[in-house]
Amino acid sequence: MRPIGTAWRVTGLGGSTASIYDRRGERPVTNDALTPHRPMIPGAPSLVQPSLGRPVRRKATLSRRVLLAAVALSSALLGGSAASAADKISIIVGGMEKQIYLPAVLCEKLGFFKEQGLDVELINSRAGVEAENELLAGAVQGVVGFYDHTIDLQTKGKSITAIVQFSQAPGEVEMLSTRHADDVKTPADLKGKTLGVTGLGSSTDFLSRFIAARAGLKDGEFSLLPVGAGNTFVAAIKQDQIQAGMTTEPTVGQLIKMGAAKVMIDLRTPEKTNEALGGPYPAASFYVQSAWLDTHKEDAQKLANALVKTLRWIKDHSAAEIADRMPKDYYVGDKALYVQGLADGKAMFTPDGKMPAQGPETVLKVLQSFNRNLQGKTVDLSKTYTSAFVDAAR
C-alpha cells in the first residue's frame, strides 16, 4: 500500500489498484463525499492522485475481492516467496500519530512484533470508520480503533472481536473555539453550532452525539462536520468552520498553545470519563474479524503477547521516555508539548490489555442513548471482546 493524502490505494498485480470507498461503495472517501452540502475546508485531505491532480474513479480500480483472489492465486503459483508475503499481518490504525493509538507504533519501535516472529505492517488511516471498512472488506487482518465499533457492527450483522484493550478512557477532548467561549458555557449552549468530528460514523461522532443528547439537544439542533485530525482540525477551528470539536493529543496541546481553543469536556482520564459518560469507557483497542480469529489463534496470541508487553512497558516508563521512542514527526515541532500531553493522558492506558469491569455496559448505554439502530435491540456483549489472549499473554 502507498498513501494518497490520508487515504490509501492498494497496488495490485500488473499495477492495478483498489481504492478506499465510502460505505455506499459509490465514490472515494473525501470530505465532499461525507458532507455533500458543505464546502471542503481549505487544506483538508482528499483522495487525489498527486501526479494527475484528479479524483481516483472506481472504473479505474480493481475491486478488493478480485485483488485478494489474484494475490491468493499468485501465492499458489509462485511458491516460497509468495507464501512469505501471505504471512504478513496488515493492521490499519485510525490515525497513527494520535496518542490514543500510541501502543501500536510503540510496539513496532520496541521490536516486540518481531520478537514474536511476526511480520506486521501498520497502515495509517484518517478515521476509525475508514479502518473498519477496510477490515470488513478483507484488505487487512486487524484494526487499532475504538471498541465501540464492535457493538455498532454487531447490530449490522457483522462479528468483530476486540482481543487487546489499549485504554480505559477515550483520550478525547471536546475543544471549544475561544472566539465562542463567551456564548458557550455548557454543552446545552452548543445548540445551533457545528461540531467537528474525525469522520461520520466514527467514535468521535458517537461521543459527540451522546454529549449533545445528554445536554438535552435533539438531532437537527446541532451539526456534525468531519474534519479529520491534526492540521485539518486546527484549520477548521481557526476558520470558524466548527465552533467546537472532539480531538486528541497532540492536537489538543497545539490548539491551547496557539490560543485557538480551550478544553470544554476532558475524557483523557478514567475519573473524568466516569463523570462525563457515567462509567468507564473502554476506547482504543485491537480488534479483528471473528472468522479470522477462529482460524488464526496462534497469530492472535502472538499479537496479544506483543501488545500487552507494550502496555506494561508504558506503565513502567515516563512520558518523556515513551516520547523518545516515537517518530519525531509525531511531535509536530514541539516535543515538550507532546510529552506534556502524554503525561496528562497516560492514565488512559490499561496496564495489561484487559477489558475494564462494566466498560462494555457503559459503551452500550452511550450508543443506545442516541443510536436508533441500537435502541430496543439485544446485543451480546460477550461476543464483542475476549480476554482469553491477554490472560495468556507472556
Q: What is the DSSP annotation of 89-113? A: EEEEES-TTSGGGHHHHHHHHTTHH
Query: pLDDT tens, position by position, for the chain (394 residues)?
Result: 433 333 333 333 333 333 333 333 333 333 333 333 333 344 443 332 222 233 323 333 334 443 444 444 444 344 333 334 448 999 999 889 999 999 999 999 999 999 999 999 999 987 666 788 889 888 999 999 999 999 989 988 999 999 999 999 999 999 999 999 999 999 999 999 999 998 888 889 989 999 999 999 988 999 999 998 889 999 999 999 999 999 988 999 999 999 999 999 999 999 999 999 989 999 999 999 999 999 999 999 999 999 999 999 999 999 999 999 999 999 989 999 999 999 999 999 999 999 999 999 999 999 998 888 788 788 999 999 999 999 999 8
- Give CATH 3.40.190.10 domain extents, the chain: 88-169+282-391, 172-267
Adjacent-strand bridge partners of 288: 142, 161
CB 363 within 8 A of CB 393: no
Instruction: Give the distance from CA 207 to its chain's centroid.
Output: 13
Q: C-alpha cell of 363?
A: 459503551
What is the distance between the alpha carbons of residues 296 and 268, in angstroms, rounded to a whole number? 33
Q: C-alpha cell of 202?
A: 466514527
Residue owning grid cell 466548527: 242
Written out in words, the top-level CATH class of the domain with range 88-169+282-391 is: alpha beta
DSSP 256-272: HHTTSEEEEEEESSHHH
Q: How many CB atoms lie within 10 A of CB 225?
A: 18
What is the distance between the alpha carbons of residues 146 and 130, in angstroms, rounded to a whole number? 12
What is the distance between the alpha carbons of residues 30 and 55, in angstroms, rounded to a whole number? 10
Q: What CATH number has the domain spanning 172-267?
A: 3.40.190.10
Query: Would you say the C-alpha torsion 108, 110, 114, 116 has a positive or negative sign?
Result: negative
- Provide the 8-state DSSP code for 16: -
Closest C-alpha among 302, 284, 296, 300 to residue 115: 302
What is the distance between the alpha carbons of residues 377 and 151, in angstroms, rounded to a whole number? 11
